[in-house]
Amino acid sequence: MSKAKPTTARGVASLLSSGTPGEYSAGQGLFLIVKGKGSGSWMHRYQMQGKRKRLGLGSAADVSLADARALVAEHRAQIAQGIDPLEARKQDQQAEVAKVVTFDEVAADYIASQRPGWKSAKHAQQWKNTLATYVSPVIGNLAPAEITTEHVLKILTPIWNTKKETASRVRNRIELVLNAAKARKLRTGENVAAWRGHLELLLTNHKRNNRRHHPALPWQQIPEFWQVLSRENDISAKAVQLTILTGLRTREVLEAHRSEFDLQAGTWTVPAERMKAGKEHRVPLSRAAIEVLEGLPVFSSGLLFEGRSAGRPVSNMAMLMKLRRMDERKQAADGTGWRDELGQVITAHGFRSTFRDWAAESTGFENIVVEQALAHTIGNAVEAAYRRGDLLERRRELMEAWAGYVTSSPAGSVVRLRERAAV
């Protein structure tokens, strides 16, 4: 083994020239690691809280003995202050990485990781669209660590009071992306897009009851509306009919497939991926609902309501435009139209509220039965009480009563059902 020591520049050169592998002490925990002829690197050995650690200082070809000693001196000063030089270096490296990765890149990675768990490709596209429209122009090219509350306010303030639902979604999506950035150690500290305890103090607090309103037809008018709707023979009208009779959401109806129905058993099983709560939902079919189903055309795709493009369902706009045209005709005829109590044109989703109000005001069915008919998530305590089943037969009675009321003659439609429905 060479007798040279790496305590001088000449000694370092001699050891590297000899190429004899080994670790040679230069004092103060500094070592020259020789791997072969002309190949060597510097290493700092030190102890931190009783643990031995090794920290590389770079190639001996690039880092001189003097520079290596200077680095060791810096490390010893850190150790004296209780700072681990190895951890400090990792943090510096993470900070450098954080400066390179942008918000848009973190957002793209987040969308890609979450996409498999989302119900549809449409949701992922909505994410991309809202970020591209409102967020990227302001912070898309910034590193997550550089984003401040002022940046978030610059994005949200122009739309907060004019596009409430969109603004709320934008804020939530920024918050989620910044949380993902923090999990990747691309930023530290509080989330500047958080609502509770932060943005709620800087922006108008739009309460829950100010969320999107779905105009609903007063339940007393549904028999009259049904009579008019029954004279419409297009596919959109049929979709509205099935929506009314089942109490389901529009997407659950429009994407329905014939394979989901058992008309002999009088049930429709909506798969979990199409339900808002993410759980399979059995729907008891009334006689009126079965009549609607039996009168539908058969498409090779198996869809109940196929649109103009083969294999694609009718869009939500089809039902909405159907209701708007019906409102326009009634408005022209009697000046009232098909409106809710605030004078707004009714929506397909609003029929769920119509059904809910009818059940509460005109029947004796238990609330749990109505809530399950609407596929609402039920609290744990209530679920425990009814854990033996999904109340299918009780819901069948409810939906048959609802269908009987909906399809009754408008002149005698206001029928009290409490005594008949009570058990």
**pLDDT tens digits, 210-261:** 445 688 999 999 999 999 999 998 999 999 999 999 999 998 999 999 999 9
Is residue 13 over pLDDT 70? yes
On whether both 295 and 400 belong to a single domain, the answer is: yes
Domain that holds residue 42: 9-87
Q: What is the residue whose two structure tokens read 């939500």?
A: 316
Local confidence band at 343 (pLDDT 50, 70, 90 cut-offs)? confident
Q: Is 1 part of any domain?
A: no
For 363-373, write each residue's pLDDT tens digit. 999 888 998 89
Q: Is 96 part of any domain?
A: no
Is residue 98 over pLDDT 80? no
Q: What is the pLDDT of residue 211?
A: 47
On whether both 200 and 239 belong to a single domain, the answer is: no
Q: What is the share, in percent, of the chain residues with pLDDT greater than 90?
A: 49
On whether both 230 and 371 belong to a single domain, the answer is: yes
For 117-148, write each residue's pLDDT tens digit. 876 777 888 899 999 999 999 999 999 989 99
Q: Is 42 part of any domain?
A: yes
- State the CATH number of the domain containing residue 199: 1.10.150.130
Is residue 400 over pLDDT 90? yes
- State the CATH number of the domain containing residue 19: 3.30.160.390
On whether both 310 and 415 belong to a single domain, the answer is: yes
Q: What is the pLDDT of residue 276?
A: 84
Is residue 356 over pLDDT 50? yes
More confident of the two residues 73 and 94: 73
For 28-82, write each residue's pLDDT tens digit. 899 999 988 888 999 999 998 888 989 888 898 888 999 999 999 999 998 888 8
CA angle, 310 as apex, 307 and 316 as ends, to 5°?
25
360 touches 245 (CB < 8 A): no
Local confidence band at 377 (pLDDT 50, 70, 90 cut-offs)? low
Q: What is the pLDDT of residue 384?
A: 44
